[in-house]
Structure formats: structure tokens, C-alpha cells
Amino acid sequence: MFMTATVALIGKRPRGGNAFGPFARPSSRDDRRAAGKALRDRVPRRQLAEWSPPKNRRNPVDMVIASSKGRIAELIRIRYDRMMVSPFTFYRGTANILAADLALMPATGMRAQLCGDCHLLNLGGFATPERRLIFDMNDFDETLPGPWEWDVKRLTASFVMASRSNSFSKSDQRDAAQTCARAYREHMAEYADARALMFGTPRWTRAR
């Protein structure tokens, strides 16, 4: 909810627009793959990593306070206490701050239905009605349509933040982020060549 409100307050769509136009989405896999690669000329991958705070950037603390509007007053202090434990716990509770920053960054224009708060602790195992244990996204409170890059950037950054909180070396932090991004890329390439519904939700099985 707060991530959606943040984008609305910014007053404009994320940079990048619609990659294909309302009626120009390529129909075949090969055409879509070619169109996707062509977007690299317009928005090179290296450019997606560039960010510097604008002069009029809103104070992050003010944004945290604003995001508490409408919450149960007795729980706000508990929320703040939990966020103050570490930079990672602060990161977990401030999807709106990252959304405001990402909205000003370049994007390819390819949009998806986002998790909106995609960090490593919003992935986990839970039981299905069929009594199976599956691994999937488990938090969609902040879901909204937006650039696909937003979820990937928030997820990979969460691995760096968590690594720092656990005193991992800088090389381990970098490896964690790169492994996360690589896994996303490889799995998306695999899914792109699959037919609809070929892949189910990953699930854990237990030996009996």
C-alpha cells in the first residue's frame, strides 16, 4: 500500500514508459526475445545500476513517519523498534523509500505485477491445502504493476544488506547479490522457452 502511494505521490510513471506500445507487443517468442535485446540499446544494462540522490530527495525519516499514517498507534513504536535493530531490518520496513528512488531511475519499460516488497525474507516455505510444503513469495501487501527491474533490484540489494548485518566480507556480499541476479536471469530464460503452466511452484518433499 505504501509503495503504491509513494509512486502516486511522485506524480509520474516510472522512467521507461511502455516498451512496446499498447498494440505493438510481439507475438512470437523469437520476436519478443529480439525486442527485449533491442531494449538494451535504449537502456543499457550498465545504466540500470546508475543512481545518485537528487537535490530535492525527500528525507527518508520523514517518509518513514508518513508511512505510519493510518497504522494502529500502539504498534507504531514496536515497528520503529524493530526497524532500528540493523540496517537490514530498516530496509525491510521501508519499501516506500526504495520505490521513490527507483521511480527516478532508468527502466526498460517492460512492466509486470510486482511483489512490491521483494526481499529475501519475503520468500519462504508454507503449506498448501494439498498438505504440500512449497517455496514461493509469501508477502504481497505492497503488490502493484511496475517495472520488472524494481523487484530484482530490491531482492538483490536485500542479500547485500543481510550479508552486511551478518558481518560477511565485501566479496561475499557481492557474490550473494550476483548469485541472486544470475539465478533470476537463468530461470527467466528457462521459463521463456516453456509452455504456459509447464512449471509449477517449487516444492519440498520429505523422505518417509
Question: How high is the mean pLDDT of the chain?
Answer: 84
Residue type for 101, please? D
Mean pLDDT of 137-163: 93
2 pLDDT above the threshold of 70: no
185 pLDDT above the threshold of 80: yes
- Please tell me the predicted confidence (pLDDT) of residue 203: 60
> Which contiguous run of DSSP H or E holds residue 201?
none
57 pLDDT above the threshold of 60: yes
122 pLDDT above the threshold of 60: yes
Q: Comparing 9-13, 48-52, 130-134, which segment has the lowest mean pLDDT? A: 9-13
> Strand 111-114 and strand 133-137: pairing?
unpaired
Instruction: Confirm if 145 and 111 have CB atoms less than 8 A apart.
Output: yes
Of the pLDDT bands very low, low, confident and very high (cuts 50, 70, 90), residue 206 is low
User: Which cell numbers in the block locate residue 121?
Assistant: 525474507
Q: Distance of CA 127 to CAs 87, 136, 200, 206, Å?
A: 31, 11, 15, 13
Mean pLDDT of 143-160: 95
How do residues 27-36 score in pLDDT, each as one tens digit? Answer: 788 888 888 8
Picking from 90, 102, 101, 106, the residue whose alpha carbon sits closest to that of residue 161 is 90
6 pLDDT above the threshold of 50: no
21 pLDDT above the threshold of 60: no
Mean pLDDT of 172-176: 97
Of the pLDDT bands very low, low, confident and very high (cuts 50, 70, 90), residue 8 is very low
How do residues 78-119 score in pLDDT, each as one tens digit? Answer: 999 999 999 999 999 999 999 999 999 999 989 999 999 999
The region that residue 14 occupies, defined by phi over 0 for left and psi between -120 and 50 for alpha, beta otherwise, is beta
How do residues 63-73 score in pLDDT, each as one tens digit? Answer: 999 999 999 99
23 pLDDT above the threshold of 50: no
Q: Which residues of 110-126 are buried (b: 16+ CB within 10 A; e: fewer)?
A: bbeebbbbbbbebeeee
15 pLDDT above the threshold of 60: no
- Please tell me the predicted confidence (pLDDT) of residue 5: 42
